[in-house]
Amino acid sequence: MKVSIIAIGDELLIGQVTDTNSGMLARMMAPYGWEVHQVMTVADNADDIRKAVDQAFRTTDVILTTGGLGPTADDITKPTLCSIFGGGLHFDPAVLDNVKTVMAKRGRVLNKLTENQAIVPDNAIIIQNKVGTAPLFWFQKDGKVLVSMPGVPFETEEMFRSEVLPRLLHHFDNNISTTHTTLIVAGISESALAEHLKDYEDSLPGYLHLAYLPKPGIIRLRLDGRHTDASVLTSESDRFVKQLKHLVAKWLISDNDMSTAAILLEELKKRKMTVSTAESCTGGNIAHQITLIPGSSEAMNGSVVAYANSVKSGILKVDPAMITEHGAVSIPVAEAMAAGVRTALKTDISISTSGIAGPGGGTPEKPVGTVCIAVAGPGDSMMSETFHLPGSRQRVIERATSEALLMALKALGIPGEI
Amino acid sequence: MKVSIIAIGDELLIGQVTDTNSGMLARMMAPYGWEVHQVMTVADNADDIRKAVDQAFRTTDVILTTGGLGPTADDITKPTLCSIFGGGLHFDPAVLDNVKTVMAKRGRVLNKLTENQAIVPDNAIIIQNKVGTAPLFWFQKDGKVLVSMPGVPFETEEMFRSEVLPRLLHHFDNNISTTHTTLIVAGISESALAEHLKDYEDSLPGYLHLAYLPKPGIIRLRLDGRHTDASVLTSESDRFVKQLKHLVAKWLISDNDMSTAAILLEELKKRKMTVSTAESCTGGNIAHQITLIPGSSEAMNGSVVAYANSVKSGILKVDPAMITEHGAVSIPVAEAMAAGVRTALKTDISISTSGIAGPGGGTPEKPVGTVCIAVAGPGDSMMSETFHLPGSRQRVIERATSEALLMALKALGIPGEI
C-alpha cells in the first residue's frame, strides 16, 4: 500500500520544529510492506492543505495528516477537511468526556478553547485520543482513506501504533499475513555485512525481504514476510531466520528488536548482576538510556556524573595526581573512574566515560571527539579503549553512549564465540 | 519571496534519515523575508521528482532541491532536471578539477564513480561545491529559478550560506523586512494562554502574527512580522513585543529561544553559581539535558543517579529510617536527596527527583506518574512539590525533567514578580 503523509504547521516550514513524525510513521508501516510515497509539509492554510490533499489522492490510496489540530485560532485543518469530504461540524459529547478525562489525568481544568476539541466533522469516524485532547478523524471517499492525527510526536506515535495502524491494516490488508524478525548485530560495517549476506539475500523468495537499518554502533537486520498463506509464510520465514542467525552469529548481540541498553539489562538480569556508571563526557546519558527501560531498577544501582574533577577525586576516589599526570581524558582515569564507581555503588560491573564532546576543549593531542571508555568487572576484568568519534556535541555523546554499552556487553562475553 | 523545497531521497521516505535541511534553509532565509511555502519529500524516482517540480513551479518562483546528487546509480536527479529544463549532459573539466581538490583535502583518491560528478547539465549555471564532490546547478525558466543542492547537511548549509542565498537575493532584489521574537513561558496551558491573549491577538496589525509552540512544560510564543517598511516594522514589532512581555510577565522564563536547561545554565552562570542533581526516577536525564549544552561544565559539577536505596543512603546520606517511614517516593526523601547531593558535590543549588515512572511500581496511594521533586539552595532555601504526570515511562521521565528544571529556575526567582 502506498501512503502520502501531509505534515501541517507553520512551525515546521519556518524551521522551528523538525518533522520527526513522518519518519516514525514510515518506520512503523515498513514491516507491513506499506511505503511512504511522498511527504508534503504545508502551512496552517486552508488552500495549501486542500491542494496537498488533492495531490496526495491523485497518487496514493492512504493519506496521513499530522498536526494542525490544536484548539487555537491558527489551526484550520478541521474545517478544511470538512470542505473536502463534505458535511459540517457538530458538537460530540463523547469527545468532550474524553477530553475531560485526559485533562483530569493531567490535573488540569477544562477551559473554553479546549472545549473546541469536541467540535468534530460530520463525515468522519472519530477515534478518541487516549493521550491528548485532539481527537483523530478517519475520512473515506472513493475507496481512499485520510486519517487526521495530532502533531505532538508522542501522541502521534501512541495513537498510530495502538489505533490507526491496526485499523488501516484491517481495512486494506485483511487477508495478508505478515512476519517480522529483527536481529541486532554489532562490530561490522553495513557494506561489509551486505557483501557477507549477498548470496543469502539472492536466495530469498519474493515474499521475504531483508532490510538493513543501521544505528550508531549497531545494525538492525529485519526480515519481513508477506503472504496470503499464513502456514507457508511461518515455516519458510522460520527457516530463513535460522539461516540468517547462523550467518551473522559472530556479530549477533540480540535476536529481539531492542536497544543496546535493553540488551545489556536483560543479560545482567539473566546473570543476577548489577551495573553502575561513572560518566564525564556522556553526562548521565548512559544512565538515562538504561533507566528508560521498565524494570531497570532490578539491575541498575545508579550512577555518578563526574563533570568536575573534584567529583572524580571526591566520590570516585580517582587520585588527583593521576588526573594531573595523564589528564582527565585518559585511559588510566577512565579505568580509575570505573573502578571507583563500582566500589562506591557496590555493583558487579561498571561503565565509565571521559572525553571531549566539544565544540570547545579540544587540543592537538586530544581533539574534540576523543573519548576514553572503560568497563570494570565482572570479577577482576578491566576493559578500556580510546575512541575518536565524529560529529556534533550531541552526536559524540550519543556515539560514546552506544560504544560504552557495547563494551559492557563485550565484558559479559557478547557476542559469544561460535 | 515564496520558496518550495524538494528533499530527494529514498532514505528520507523510509525514515532512516530525518530531513533537517529544510528547516535549516527556512531559518537562513527568514531574516530576508523569504518564506518556505511547502516542503515536498520524494523518492529517487524521475517521475516523482518531475511531478514535484511541476507542482512547486505552479505556486512559487523559487525551488530548492536537496539530495539525489550522489555518484551511485540510484541518484537520478541530474538527468531528470535535464528533461525538465531541456538540454543534455556534458563533461566539465573544471568540475573534475574541483572534485579532485576536495578529495585531496580529505586524503581520498578519485575513483571512477566519483568522476561522474563532472558530468553536468548543458542548461545550468554550475556552482562549484567547496566542501563536497557534487556540484550545484542553477536552472532558470520563465522568470523562475531552481537550484539543485547536495543533501549532506553540512554541505547544504555551507553552500547555501556562502553561494546560493547571496545569488538568490541579488537575482530577485527583495525588499521585504521580517522580525521574529520568541518568548518562553511556563506554568500555564496553551489554551488558557490563548484565552488570556485573545484581545492582544485581535489588536495585532495584519503584518504581525502570533504563534503558539507548546513543548512539555513550556510554551514558546513567537511574534513574526513582515513589512516592506523596515522602520515601521521594527518600531511596531518592538511595541507589540513589549506589550506581550508585560501580558505574560508572570509566566515568562526567557525572551530568547532556548531550552529550559539552557535558560537555567545561563542564569547560573550570570550568578556564578553551580548545580548538581540527585536523580532517582529521571535516571540521569536532567544531568544529560544540562550537559548537552556547550560550556555546561562551567556551572555543572555533576550528578548522583540514586536508583538503589543503598545509593540514596550511602552517597547522598539519606537516613534509611526516613526511607522506611515515608517511602523512597516522598517529599522528605526528595528534600534529603537534594540536600545530600548539594553537600557531596559542593554546589550552590541542587535538584532531586524521586518518583514512579512506570509502567510497574504504582500503588493506590502513589500511582504511576507520582514524582517528588526538590530543589535545595541557593542559601538556606528548600523547595519541593509532588507531581502527577501522565503518559508512558519516557513521557513521565521527560516531564519530570522539565518540571525539575523549571523548579530550579523558580528557586533562582524566575519568572520574577511583575
Give the per-residue pLDDT at A418: 47
Portions of chain B given CATH number 3.90.950.20: 260-411
pLDDT of residue B396: 94
- Note whether A16 contacts B220, CB cutoff 8 Å: yes
Strand (E) or helix (H) holding B186:
strand B177-186
Half-sphere exposure of B378 (CA within 13 A, CB side): 11
Name the residue facing A393 among B42, B43, B292 (closest C-beta).
Answer: B292
* Per-residue pLDDT at B74: 55
- What's the confidence (pLDDT) of residue B113? 73
* ∠ Cα B258 B259 B260 (to 5°): 120
Size of interface A-B (CB pairs under 8 A): 279
Q: What 3-state class would DSSP assign to B92?
A: coil
Query: What value of ipTM does the predicted structure carry?
Result: 0.79
The x, y and z cell numbers of residue A55, run together, are 495531490
DSSP string, B99-142: HHHHHHHTT----HHHHGGGEEETTSEEE--SSSSSPEEEEEET
Per-residue pLDDT tens over the stretch B389-409: 988 899 899 999 999 999 999
Contacts A295 to B, Cβ<8 Å: 360
CB A40 within 8 A of CB A4: yes
CA A141 to CA A146: how far, in whole Å? 8
- State chain A's mean pLDDT as an integer: 92
Tell the CATH topology of B177-254: Alpha-Beta Plaits (3.30.70)
The model's pTM is: 0.80
The pLDDT of A58-70, averaged and rounded, is 91
What pLDDT is recorded for position A212?
83
Are B303 and A308 a contacting pair at CB < 8 A? no
Mean pLDDT for the stretch of residues A186-195: 86
Query: What's residue B327's pLDDT?
Result: 95
pLDDT of residue B176 exceeding 90, the answer is no
Gap between the Cα atoms of A185 and A180, Å rounded: 16
Task: Provide φ and ψ at B125, rounded to 5°.
Answer: -80, 130
Segments of chain A assigned to CATH 3.40.980.10: 2-172
Position B418 scores a pLDDT of 47
* Residue A169 buriedness (CB in 10 A; 0-12 / 13-18 / 19+): middle
Q: What are phi and psi of A291, to 5 degrees?
A: -80, -5
Where in chain A are all domains bearing CATH 3.30.70.2860?
177-254
Averaged pLDDT, A13-37: 91
Partner residue opposite B346 with nearest CB, options A10, A22, A310: A310
**Distance from A22 to chain B by nearest Cα, in Å?**
7
Query: Exposed, middle or buried: residue A410 (CB in 10 Å: 0-12, 13-18, 19+)?
Result: middle
pLDDT for B228: 86
Are A37 and B43 within 8 A, CB to CB? Answer: yes
* C-alpha cell, A395: 552526536
CB B44 within 8 Å of CB B68: yes
The shortest CB-CB distance from B283 to any of A11, A14, A288 is to: A288
Compute the 3-state secondary structure of chain A and give helix, strand, coil in percent, each to the nearest 5: 45, 25, 30
- Kindly report, residue by residue over B122-172, the tens digit of the pLDDT: 999 999 999 888 999 999 999 999 999 999 888 899 999 999 998 998 898
Dist CA A246 CA A197 (whole Å)? 11
Interface test with A, best of B34, B113, B191 (most A CBs within 10 A): B191
Q: What is the CATH number of domain A2-172?
A: 3.40.980.10
Lowest mean pLDDT among A14-18, A317-321, A367-371, B287-291: A14-18
Please give the class, per CATH, of domain B260-411. Answer: alpha beta
Determine the distance in angstroms separating the CA of A417 from the nearest CA of chain B, rounded to an integer.
31
Supply the pLDDT for residue B106: 66
The answer on pLDDT for A287 being more than 90 is yes
Mean pLDDT, rounded, for A221-242:
93
If DSSP codes are grouped into helix, strand and coil, which group holds residue A177? Answer: strand
Chain B CB contacts of A129 under 8 Å are none
Band (A189; pLDDT cuts 50, 70, 90): confident
Answer yes or no: do B390 and A300 touch at CB < 8 A.
no
Q: What pLDDT sits at residue B72?
A: 59
Question: A71 pLDDT exceeds 70?
Answer: no
Q: Is the model's pLDDT at A169 over the cut of 90? A: yes
Q: Using the beta-carbon criterion (under 8 Å), do A16 and B30 form an inter-chain contact?
A: no
B304 to chain A: which residues are within 8 Å by CB?
A: 302-305, 315
Q: Which residues of chain B does A65 touch, with a Cβ-Cβ cutoff of 8 Å? A: none
- B278-326 pLDDT, tens per residue? 999 999 999 999 999 999 999 999 999 999 999 999 999 999 999 999 9
pLDDT in tens, A269-285: 999 999 999 999 999 99
Of A16, A26, A284, the CB nearest to B13: A26
Strands (E), B362-417: 370-376, 382-388
Radius of gyration of chain A (CA): 26
Indicate yes or no: CB of A283 within 8 angstroms of CB of B287. Answer: yes
CA distance B179 to B44: 37
Residue with cell string 489588536: B203
Burial of A73 by CB count in 10 Å (0-12 exposed, 13-18 middle, 19+ buried)?
middle
Pairwise CA distance, residues B258 & B407, whole Å: 17
* Residue B22 clears pLDDT 60, i.e. is over it: yes
| Nearest beta carbon to residue A39 from set B41, B51, B291 | B41
How many helices (DSSP H) and strands (DSSP E) are in chain B?
Answer: 17, 17
Q: Locate the chain B residue with the closest alpha carbon to A313.
A: B345
Average pLDDT of the segment spanning B204-227? 87
Least confident of A81-95, B42-56, B73-87, B289-303: B73-87
Of B38, B300, B345, the CB nearest to A41: B38
Per-residue pLDDT, A408 = 98
Question: Residue B276 in contact with residue B296, Cβ under 8 Å?
Answer: no
Indicate yes or no: CB of B392 within 8 angstroms of CB of A111: no
Side by side, the strands of the sheet bearing B300-306 are A382-388, A370-376, A349-355, A275-279, A300-306, B300-306, B275-279, B349-355, B370-376, B382-388
Task: Assess whether pLDDT exceeds 60 at residue B417.
Answer: no
Upper half-sphere CA count for residue B254 (Cβ side, 13 Å): 19
Give the Cα separation of B247 and B252 in Å (integer): 9
Work out whether the CA dihedral B153, B155, B156, B158 comes out positive or negative.
Answer: positive
Cα dihedral value B316, B317, B323, B328, nearest 10 = 0
Q: What is the pLDDT of residues B234-250, one digit of tens each?
A: 999 999 999 999 999 99
The average pLDDT across A341-369 equals: 94
Q: Which residue has the higher pLDDT, A217 or B276?
A: B276
Cα atoms in the 13 Å half-sphere on the side-chain side of A127: 23
Chain B residues with CB-CB distance to A15 below 8 A: 22-27, 30, 36
Average pLDDT over residues A85-95: 93
Task: Point out the least confidently predicted range of A10-19, A41-50, B312-321.
Answer: A10-19
How sure is the predictor about B53, in pLDDT bands with cuts at 50, 70 and 90?
Answer: very high
Where does the pLDDT of residue B75 fall: very low under 50, low under 70, confident under 90, or very high at 90 and above?
low
Mean pLDDT across chain B, nearest whole number?
92
